[in-house]
């Protein structure tokens, strides 16, 4: 089994949603592969809801280089996938190659993580029916209209699918997702 794990991004991907799992994967002996609409550098952002505000405030974050374009992905070569948050999922979810890749991970029961707006990708790909997921509350509708079940908790585990609401939940949902990846790796090395 491959030690490579996909991290799905686009312009306006949330910095902490992306970088925390990126480095945690490395610490656990996995190789994070950043995947995006095309192979180039992407601008990440920082998101926070300011007290008393009704909208999300956004600041520029770091940039990240995509290792592979969605169209080039052979999903069988990857152990798992993470759908990062931020505004990126709102536009990258329509990419036919990303939809194909997303369906593969749900159909093959490989470890999947989703945080914040990341839910919009598997929702659009018709993969959330009957699945329990955490997401930022403002994406509850996106999940439920596609048949998913919104759970307002820092870590929701539904089989191979592990999700958190926002980067504030990184310390809750990323560890169990990496444990799933490690369990799959150990099972495959024994066979």
> Could you give the CA distance from residue 100 to residue 170 in angstroms, rounded to a whole number?
27
pLDDT of residue 14: 96
pLDDT of residue 38: 98
Please answer whether residues 83 and 51 qualify as being in contact, where contact means their C-beta atoms are separated by less than 8 angstroms: no
pLDDT of residue 2: 86
pLDDT of residue 60: 87
Please answer whether residues 14 and 47 qualify as being in contact, where contact means their C-beta atoms are separated by less than 8 angstroms: yes
Please answer whether residues 174 and 25 qualify as being in contact, where contact means their C-beta atoms are separated by less than 8 angstroms: no
Please answer whether residues 119 and 92 qualify as being in contact, where contact means their C-beta atoms are separated by less than 8 angstroms: no
Residue 39: CB atoms within 10 Å: 15
pLDDT of residue 184: 94
Whole-model pTM over 0.85: yes
> Could you give the CA distance from residue 85 to residue 120 in angstroms, rounded to a whole number?
9
How far is the first Cα of the chain from the last one, in angstroms, to the nearest whole number?
10
Structure-block tokens of residue 179: 């444990």
Structure-block tokens of residue 62: 């770091």
In the chain, which stretches have pLDDT less than 50? none
Domain annotation for the chain: domains and CATH numbers: 4-190 (3.40.50.880)
Write the DSSP symbol of residue 183. H
Active site members: 117
> Could you give the CA distance from residue 82 to residue 74 in angstroms, rounded to a whole number?
16
> Could you give the CA distance from residue 181 to residue 11 in angstroms, rounded to a whole number?
27
User: Could you write out the DSSP letters of every residue in 83-136?
Assistant: E--BSTHHHHTT-HHHHHHHHHHHHTT--EEEEGGGGHHHHHTT--TT-EE---
> Could you give the CA distance from residue 151 to residue 184 in angstroms, rounded to a whole number?
26
């Amino acid at each position: 089994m491959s030690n490579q794990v996909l991290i799905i991004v686009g312009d306006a991907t949330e910095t902490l949603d992306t970088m925390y799992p990126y480095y945690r994967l490395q610490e656990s002996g996995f190789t994070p592969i950043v995947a995006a609409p095309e192979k180039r550098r992407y601008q990440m952002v920082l998101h926070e809801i300011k007290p008393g505000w009704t909208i999300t405030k956004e600041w520029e974050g770091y940039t990240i280089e995509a290792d592979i374009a969605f169209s080039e992905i052979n999903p069988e070569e990857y152990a798992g996938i993470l759908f990062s948050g931020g505004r990126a999922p709102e536009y990258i979810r329509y990419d036919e190659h990303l939809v194909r890749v997303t369906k593969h991970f749900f159909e093959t029961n490989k470890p999947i993580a989703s945080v914040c707006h990341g839910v919009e990708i598997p929702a659009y790909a018709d993969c959330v029916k009957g699945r329990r997921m955490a997401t930022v509350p403002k994406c509850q509708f996106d999940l439920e209209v596609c048949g998913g079940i919104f759970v307002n908790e820092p870590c929701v585990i539904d089989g191979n699918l592990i999700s958190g609401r926002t980067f504030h939940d990184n310390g809750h949902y990323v560890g169990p997702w990496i444990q799933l990846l490690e369990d799959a790796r150990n099972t495959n090395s024994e066979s």
